[in-house]
């Protein structure tokens, strides 16, 4: 236990991972299970691939009453990972207010609703919340503007929660770059496309969901006991500034 999770031992801790059935969330759920935690993943549909050591609870995070009922049914919650999120690609001028509202509902409102519903349990356990943010919330996000705005808001929400709910609950955000998931081919095409996109990252590749899980375990563990209201970038060095490719001076230096 704990070998792949920086040695963290989370035995006896109960961890809820929203959207933990696939993609990044499944990597997070597996990492917490590897650290010995009791993990519950929630989503609208069960996982396609079994997640060893994790229980599944059906839940639509846009249904606030169902969210409250779900947490009321749990005896204990030590860690909440607000992971569920995402967006379709559509330019601002091609979409409408209703679609924007749905994106903001999933990526910003639901993490607040879920955190409020889990708050008493988390406080009783002196627990931690980990928000899953995105680099899209730190710069322009063309084609996914409402998502970028929601993720920017999520980081800010986490900081306010960290102040209001201290010292009982620590709240931090993992700000992700590109992660390789089951949906990667939809966004970047075949292996050559994925490799080409990976080559734009300083570390030369996309992150694996397991690596996001390891960072989440760290933030939730006692090793991070004095870290709250923080954002941890997990983006492989970030995005290379475009001006470096356009610049004509100093290339020979």
Binding site for ligand NAP (CB under 6 A): 19, 21-25, 43-45, 59-62, 83-86, 106, 132, 134, 176, 178-179, 181, 183
Nearer to ligand NAP, 118 or 176 (CB): 176
Least distance from ligand NAP to the Cβ atom of residue 186, Å: 10
In Å, what is the CA distance from 158 to each residue of 92, 148, 166, 175?
26, 15, 12, 12
Q: How far apart are CA 32 and CA 28, in angstroms?
A: 6
Nearer to ligand NAP, 107 or 228 (CB): 107
Nearer to ligand NAP, 185 or 247 (CB): 185
Largest CA distance in the chain: 64
Q: How far apart are CA 253 and CA 249, in angstroms?
A: 9
Nearer to ligand NAP, 48 or 222 (CB): 48
Whose CA is closest to 134, among 76, 85, 197? 85
Least distance from ligand NAP to the Cβ atom of residue 163, Å: 23
Least distance from ligand NAP to the Cβ atom of residue 83, Å: 5
Nearer to ligand NAP, 118 or 179 (CB): 179
Write down the catalytic residue from 89, 147, 188, 226.
147
Annotation says 147 is catalytic = yes
Least distance from ligand NAP to the Cβ atom of residue 10, Å: 21
State both tokens at 161: 């929660």
Least distance from ligand NAP to the Cβ atom of residue 75, Å: 22
Q: Which residues have a Cβ under 8 Å from the Cβ of 158 and sit 6 or more positions away?
A: 129, 131, 133, 171, 172, 173, 229, 231
Q: How far apart are CA 237 and CA 214, in angstroms?
A: 17
In Å, what is the CA distance from 93 to each residue of 26, 58, 100, 108, 151?
34, 35, 11, 22, 20
Instruction: Return the active site residues.
Output: 147
């Amino acid at each position: 236990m704990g070998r792949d999770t920086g040695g963290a031992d989370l035995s006896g801790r109960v961890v809820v991972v929203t959207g933990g059935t696939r993609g990044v969330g499944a990597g997070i759920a597996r990492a917490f299970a590897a650290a010995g935690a009791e993990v519950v993943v929630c989503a609208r549909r069960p996982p396609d691939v079994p997640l060893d050591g994790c229980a599944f609870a059906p839940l639509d995070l846009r249904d606030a009453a169902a969210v409250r009922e779900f947490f009321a049914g749990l005896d204990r919650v030590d860690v909440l990972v607000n992971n569920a999120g995402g967006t379709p690609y559509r330019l601002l001028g091609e979409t409408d207010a209703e679609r924007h509202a749905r994106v903001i509902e999933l990526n910003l409102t639901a993490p607040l609703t879920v955190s409020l519903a889990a708050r008493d349990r988390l406080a009783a356990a002196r627990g931690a919340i980990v928000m899953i943010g995105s680099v899209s919330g730190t710069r322009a996000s063309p084609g996914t503007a409402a998502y970028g705005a929601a993720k920017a808001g999520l980081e800010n929400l986490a900081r306010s929660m960290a102040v209001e709910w201290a010292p009982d609950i620590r709240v931090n955000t993992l700000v992700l770059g590109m992660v390789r998931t089951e949906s990667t081919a939809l966004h970047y095409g075949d292996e050559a496309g994925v490799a080409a996109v990976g080559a734009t990252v300083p570390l030369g590749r996309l992150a694996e969901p397991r690596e996001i899980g390891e960072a989440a375990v760290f933030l939730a563990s006692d090793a991070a006991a004095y870290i709250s209201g923080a954002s941890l970038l997990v983006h492989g060095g970030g995005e290379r500034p475009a001006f470096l490719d356009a610049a004509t001076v100093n290339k020979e230096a």
